[in-house]
Amino acid sequence: MPGVEIHANMISGILNDNLYSEPPWVNAVNLVVLVVTGLFLTLTLPFFAAGKQIVTAMVVLVLLIFSNFWLWSAEHLVLNLAPQILLVLMLAVFNGFNSHFKSVRRERRIKGIFSQYIPPQLVHEMSEGGDDGFSLDGKTKELSVLFADIRGFTTISESLHAHDLRTFLNHFFTPMTRIIFDNRGTIDKYVGDMIMAFWGAPIDDKEHARNSVLAAYGMISEAKIMADQNEKDGLPRFDIGVGINTGAMSVGDMGSEYRRAYTVLGDSVNLASRLEGLTKYYGVDIIVGERTAELTKDNFIYRSLDIVKAKGKENAIEIYVPE
């Protein structure tokens, strides 16, 4: 601003009693504003995700700028705005980088635990979900569990050399695991020719029953394609049976000091295994329990297969075949 205009503004302020000032105590006010703002952001930003951190910092910046301009226009009081803006930006950038590094470390830790058991998209969801996104601690919740194995596997294994048998199983497990992953399932274990998987943990899935049945359909379809290809390649044909049950079960990190696994336990799990065993007896591909059929009755058409009494249980249960 030219010197003449500065003098003109000074004279105008004197004549209109409208001079802007910095009282002796203004430095104390500046300090208090900095301390309060810094404490607020320091105590809140670390607990927010990156998006909330940006929004919080922007809100604080707007409030500071608005307050400063209000004091300037209404009270003719001049505060030092630059340090306030710099403080907010510095804390926002620091916490942003800190959150990013924590997220990277968290995702690496989750991958180390679950990468072989759950699909990559669920690993990402778990890493983004914060500390409440999942837990390794044991708990009881309603989940859906699936068992699938190759019928007549003993005969098949006796007809193959060890190397060919390993190749056969690897070729079988790979597409089956992919199908389970595509339907948001968690691989529990492979035992011989058997696959065990469950839905609804380590992160919640409201559609766990539906997703488990979809996976079963996909596995049966893929198994038929693989069996046809095996026949062309001179390898044994095979069929699979799938049993699914939904119910309360214990889920968590279980095992010993030497080896642990994220798994499910309980009567509902045992029933799913028995349902898989019944598929051969009834000559069907898939059998589901009562609760699974109840939760997915709007998604699939079921035929009542039989009423059976599970081993160790007093009450009989109805079992179903998806059409």
pLDDT tens digits, residue range 59-112? Answer: 888 888 888 888 777 766 777 778 888 888 888 888 877 877 777 676 666 666
Domain count, the chain: 2
The dihedral built from the CA positions of residue 240, 244, 250 and 253, taken in this order, carries a sign that is positive
Closest to 300 measured CA to CA, from 231, 236, 209, 225: 209
Instruction: Tell me the pLDDT tens digit for each residue of 288-298.
Output: 999 999 999 99
Taking residues 112-130, report their average pLDDT. Answer: 62
Q: What are the b/e assignments for 19-33, b being 16+ CB within 10 Å?
A: eeeeeeeeeeebeeb
> Do 87 and 213 share a domain, yes or no?
no
Please indicate, yes or no, whether residues 96 and 134 belong to a single structural domain of this protein: no
Tell whether 104 and 166 lie within a shared domain.
no
- Are residues 274 and 251 both part of a single domain? yes
What is the Cα–Cα distance from 278 to 221, expressed in whole angstroms?
A: 19
- From 111, 139, 174, give the residue that closes a domain: 111
Q: Are residues 172 and 89 in the same domain?
A: no
Residues 186 and 107 in one domain: no
pLDDT digits 0-9 by tens, 131-173:
555 566 678 999 999 999 999 898 888 888 888 888 889 999 9
Q: Return the pLDDT at 238.
A: 92
Q: Which of 64, 88, 111 is the last residue of a domain?
A: 111
In a domain, 61, yes or no: yes
Verify that 44 and 135 share a domain, yes or no: no
Which of 32-41, 112-121, 287-296 comes out lowest in average pLDDT? Answer: 112-121
Residue 282: inside a domain, yes or no?
Answer: yes
Helices 26-44 and 81-114: angle between axes, nearest 10 degrees: 10
Does residue 119 belong to any structural domain of this protein? no
Last residue of a domain, one of 58, 78, 111: 111
- In angstroms, what CA-CA distances link 135 with 75, 140, 189, 241? 54, 12, 19, 32
Residue at 116 is within a domain: no
Query: Domain check: are 237 and 275 in the same one?
Result: yes
Is the bond leading into 202 cis (omega within 30 degrees of zero)?
yes
Q: Which residues of 129-161 are buried (b: 16+ CB within 10 A; e: fewer)?
A: beeeebeeeeeeeebbbbbbbbeebeebbeeee
For residue 113, what pLDDT band results from cuts at 50, 70 and 90? low
Residue 117 within any structural domain of the chain: no
Give mean pLDDT, residues 268-291. Answer: 95
Residues 195 and 291 in one domain: yes
What are the residues whose beta carbons fall under 8 Å from the beta carbon of 306, sequence distance 6 or more? 282, 318, 319
DSSP annotation of 77 reads B
- Tallying the residues shown for the chain, one arrives at 323
Residue 218 has pLDDT above 60, yes or no: yes
Other beta carbons within 10 Å of 310:
17
Query: How confident is residue 239, by pLDDT bands cut at 50, 70 and 90?
Result: very high
How far apart CA 63 and CA 76 sit, in angstroms, is 18
Same domain, 161 and 97: no
> Measuring CA to CA, which residue among 149, 293, 278, 126 is closest to residue 210?
293
Outline where DSSP puts E strands in 120-221.
Answer: 139-150, 186-191, 194-199
Same domain, 152 and 88: no
Range of the domain at 98: 3-111
